Structure 1
Amino acid sequence: MRIVWGEDDAWIPLEQGQALADRIAGGQLIRVPHAGHLVQEDAPEAIVAAVLDRPGKG
């Protein structure tokens, strides 16, 4: 599972995103520079890239 997290999130620290990813089997934290809590607004291309980059899915 991929977790997309803005590096500049002022509401929930990046460390919380990493802790969440660490607790999920196969979890992967995708850090998005220059994005805050609303990554989908700050960097929508990062969300698209995370969804479309699905190894093993065809």
Structure 2
Amino acid sequence: MSEKASKPIDQLTLESEFIRTFKSAKSAGAELGINSSGIGNAIRKGTTSGGYRWRQHIEK
């Protein structure tokens, strides 16, 4: 995925508390050792990946 096409994502605890924002699922996966496809699936399906919840980042 190119940097231009990447979308920021938020990492959350299982209790949905915010942890941090990553520039993409790929960068989160690389840093945490989690499959980035699993993170993408968790965002789309509302499930978990790597012991965390994930969501698309929304600028406030």
TM norm. shorter chain > 0.5: no
TM-score (structure 2 length as normaliser): 0.31
Q: Looking at secondary structure, tell me which structure has more strand per residue.
A: 2
Q: Which has the larger radius of gyration?
A: 1
TM-score by length of 1: 0.31
